Structure 1
């Protein structure tokens, strides 16, 4: 009998088929999200993509290396996508709208990765953890700059705190399964923009040095 592709191996219609390496990372992310990093073995990941556990070592030197590449890659993707949308926007308000839309789509389409990041960042090797943190800081600063352009009276600490608060809202997707994807995307987008640009949302606040 011909083996059917797993969810990790399947590609959406019109999208390139993921590489073997991408399939392995996708399967590992699902398993890490479900069981935790320490609850998943190499054989479990191999089984999910239809190859022997030891066969994975042709692609990754260790399970730790998989986690490192997984979390560094999503941090790079978030930053690159955010920068691209700001670059293409014609005005600050449009840039903020596109940043929110980008993060909403990312959060809805990568729920397992969000769970893994929240739970297993501490399990990264030190170099990978520093790289992820540096990329995250850069991504936050993209938001801070745009927020301050849209709401000019906002100081940097307030804009940074607001960005992190909105990330918390948008990254709640692994725990928010009450609506279908399209409805959830609309809800999150509206809530995030209201939190950042609603009347008085970021004004009248003072921060200490």
Structure 2
């Protein structure tokens, strides 16, 4: 009979992901060993392997868990049945809020997924694509001609450019917080997207 999981198994996995994400974010995935992860988590290396079969599995779990949380945010906002502008404003605020508590995992997602094998990498990237598609869909609802000009996804990526790399310059102990920056990001986007000119070919010129 297979041995059942202990009551705290999932909590321990989450603690390991958090500790490993901090190490990967600060030292880089290739430079971090499983011995170092075990030490940081206060456990033996054999115990660590009870939760993750190897370092790749640990990296995949960190990235996939982070993307799953982002997808959950998308789903939760969709259930609020907001008008398109309020919907996108809510998405931006919720994503900045989510990133504030997951800066290490987000850095791992943006910088280290490339080290994974093709199957794991593609599974995680597919989750990211679903998130991008959800944002793009709302942008199209705001301004349909952007979808016809195939600009919804590029504009979504520009928006994510503001959100995704905030961790590289926003100091945790600085005067500005993620909470303060969220409406600023939203205001910048809402102030800019209406002024976007369609390319001549898309406009039928």
Range into which the TM-score falls when normalised by the shorter chain: 0.7 to 0.9
Are the structure 2 counterparts of residues 75 and 206 from structure 1 closer, same or farther at C-alpha, using a change threshold of 3 Å? farther
Task: Give 4+ residue runs of structure 1 displaced > 6 Å after superposition.
Answer: none
* 1:38–1:75 CA distance, 2 compared to 1 (3 A): same
Q: CA deviation at 1:46?
A: 1.3
Cα distance between partner residues in 1 of 2:79 and 2:47: 42
User: 1:159-179: CA deviations, max 9, x gaps?
Assistant: 100001111110112212252
Deviation, structure 1 residue 207: 5.7
1:83 aligns with 2:78: no
Q: Find 1:170's aligned residue among 163, 178, 192.
A: 163
Are the counterparts in 2 of residues 158 and 207 from structure 1 also a CA contact under 8 Å?
no
CA distance in 1, matches of 2:106, 2:201: 30
State the Cα distance separating 1:27 from its structure 2 match: 0.5
Of 170, 173, 198, the match for 1:204 = 198
Tell me how far 1:96 sits from its aligned partner.
0.9
Conserved in 2, the CA contact under 8 Å of 1:169 and 1:192?
no
Q: Say what the alpha-carbon RMSD is for the aligned residues.
A: 1.9
Aligned to 2:146, the other structure's residue is in SS state coil
* Partner in structure 1 of residue 186 of structure 2: 189
Cα distance between partner residues in 1 of 2:56 and 2:49: 12
Shift of 1:64: 0.8
Aligned residues: 188
How far apart are the structure 1 equivalents of 2:154 and 2:201? 11
TM-score, with normalisation over the residues of structure 1? 0.82
Contact persistence 1:83–1:142 (CA under 8 A): no
CA distance, structure 1, for counterparts of residue 201 and residue 28 of structure 2: 38
Give the C-alpha shift of residue 114 in structure 1: 1.9
Residue segments in structure 1 that go unaligned for 5+ positions in a row: 1-17
Task: Give 1:83 shift.
Answer: 2.3
Match status 1:155 vs 2:147: yes
CA contact (8 A) 2:97 2:179 kept: no
Is this contact kept in 1: 2:87–2:138, CA < 8 A? yes
**Retained in 2: the 8 A contact 1:46–1:56?**
yes
Compute the displacement of 1:125 (Å): 2.0
Q: Whose relative contact order is higher, 1 or 2, with alpha carbons under 8 Å and at least 6 apart?
A: 2
Task: Give me the TM-score of the superposition, normalised by structure 2.
Answer: 0.83
2:88 to 77, 86, 96: 96
Q: Conserved in 2, the CA contact under 8 Å of 1:82 and 1:142?
A: yes
What SS is found at the alignment partner of 2:93?
A: helix
